[in-house]
Amino acid sequence: MKTRNEKKKPSSRISGGCTKCTHESTCEGFHVYVIELDDDSKFDFYVGQTYKTVGQRLVDNWVKYGSRGLGSRLIRLHYHRMRMDLVPRHSIVCETREEAEFLEAELADDLREMGFEVKGPTLMGVQANG
């Protein structure tokens, strides 16, 4: 298994993401993202959402969150590349956290239905309202 020091910190410049965000500042929307993990991970992808730019959130996994969260540790140990091409256009920028969380879980479930192992939330078992 690779250790943290063997992985190079990725660039915060992410292609295919929000066109309203700049390298330095967020558009103030919520963003859904997909990270492809390396072959040593039991997961193929990590699906997440953030209020920050996707690039800044990725960098934060290396420098800010330490080993407190299972997601950030998984990303530090097994990051391969960003896969914004898997995020539907309508999910790249969301107005509310609730919308982003729903679309994050929906995308994670869609990837699971395609046969991938995904670290991320799920809507499976959630009853529809109304």
Burial zone of 123 (CB within 10 Å; 0-12 exposed, 13-18 middle, 19+ buried): middle
Pick from 56, 60, 54, 128: nearest CA to 85? 54
Number of Cβ atoms within 10 Å of the Cβ of 42: 9
What's the pLDDT at 18?
77
What's the pLDDT at 15?
64
Domain segments of the chain: what residues? 26-119
Q: What is the pLDDT of residues 55-85, one digit of tens each?
A: 888 888 777 655 566 788 888 889 999 999 9
What's the pLDDT at 16?
63
Pick from 6, 60, 2: nearest CA to 35? 60
Whether the per-residue pLDDT at 3 is higher than 80: the answer is no
What's the pLDDT at 12?
57
| Whole-model pTM over 0.85 | no
